[in-house]
Homo-oligomer: A and B are copies of this chain.
Amino acid sequence: MSELRFDALRGEEVVYAIHRQERTFLPSREHCPLCPTHPGGPKTEIPFPAFEIAVFENRFPAFEAPRGAAEVIVYTDSHEGSLGTLSPQRADALMWVWRHRYAELGAREDVRYVLIFENRGVEVGVTLHHPHGQVYGYPFLPPVPQHELRADERLGGCALCSLLAGELDDGRRLVYESQAVAAYVPYAARWAYEAHVVLRTHRASLVECDAGELRSLAAALQALVRGYDALFDTPFPYVMVVHQAPTTSAAGEAAGGGHVHVEFYPPLRAAGKLKYLAGSEQGAGTFIADTVPEESAAALREAIALAA
């Protein structure tokens, strides 16, 4: 079982999940636990010879019922590829899986916030290369969604709606636009090639999105990932997170805030150069960036167009 401890100095929960220290680390391709189980072959996490998308509870969970949840979402039964190389139909189906996991975990009394995310690349600590993401159901409201709720209060309405309007108006940092979705390097990006993919219409969660919006979101995410890979002509490492509304607490407290957006935090500040979180980022909480968002956006916009 994992344990929560409150850090009184920073005012946040820290999660201890000690069994994770022993988790599977970069197994060889033949021992990939996310590949299908072939007759006569080694038994993997998925006891079927083929599948489209698989979801199961993480064997090395940060959270476990009845105090939260941790699941794995495998995008494909093919060991190779990425979110960018899935067929459009599969990427679209993934949005429906995200929507389903948000709805199901969010309905649980022990889950206060659902975070869908993907860590890609050894640079961000990936332990399995097979294309996959994860879902955490937090039994508390974590700091980042707390900040987003405070931003709504400060701006007197949905912060994402205001920020999106500002980015569309300015235009210099936009990298992708479709009827339902816009993507931009935010005005105050912490990471050189940080990008936010935002639903144009206010939608608190994927549950509120219609089929066309989910399809547009999938297309935007795929275009962005292919653009990233084209940028330095190499698979681009990133942390991708889906931010939606907090869910109802055990006390029945109503969920508030939220506007579906997907944030990408890529650790590369230039080809082959990583940004490290050091004295200022860790000790002061202030990011020092080496690049100008407008310039990164121009490069990323061009890469997305090239990869389209």
B-binding residues in A (CB < 8 A): 5-18, 20-21, 62, 113, 115, 117-119, 124-125, 134, 136, 138, 142-148, 150-151, 154-155, 159-160, 162-163, 186-190, 239-241, 243, 263, 265, 269-270, 274-280, 282-293
Contacts and interface: CB of A to CB of B under 8 A. Distances in A.
Nearest to A13: B286
Which 8 pairs across A and B sit closest by C-beta, in order of nearness? A125-B276, A241-B283, A143-B285, A117-B279, A7-B188, A142-B284, A5-B188, A21-B290
A6 B188 contact: yes
B17 A113 contact: no
Nearest to A6: B188
Contact of A17 (B5, B186, B282, B288): B288
15 contacts: A5-B188, A7-B188, A8-B155, A8-B162, A9-B159, A9-B160, A10-B144, A15-B280, A15-B288, A16-B293, A142-B285, A142-B286, A147-B285, A239-B278, A277-B277
Contacts of A6: 188
Contacts of A10: 144, 147, 151
B16 A292 contact: yes
Contacts of A270: 21
Given A154-B8, A291-B21, A284 B16 contact: no
A193 B39 CA distance: 45
B155 A291 contact: no
Contacts of A18: 290-292
Main secondary structure of the interface of A (DSSP, over half): mixed
B119 A284 contact: no
Given A241-B279, A270-B21, A278-B125, A285 B12 contact: yes
Given A279-B117, A286-B13, A8 B145 contact: no
Contacts of A287: 14-15
B5 A288 contact: no
Contact of A7 (B21, B134, B190, B239): B190
A282 B269 contact: no
Nearest to A119: B278
Contacts of A125: 274-276, 278
B279 A115 contact: yes
A240 to B, nearest CB: 8
A138 B281 CA distance: 13
Contacts of A150: 11
Nearest to A144: B285
Given A11-B151, A188-B8, A289-B16, A138 B284 contact: yes
A108 B275 CA distance: 30
B9 A163 contact: yes
Contacts of A278: 117, 119, 124-125, 239
B17 A62 contact: no
A23 to B, nearest CB: 9
Given A14-B188, A270-B21, A239 B286 contact: no
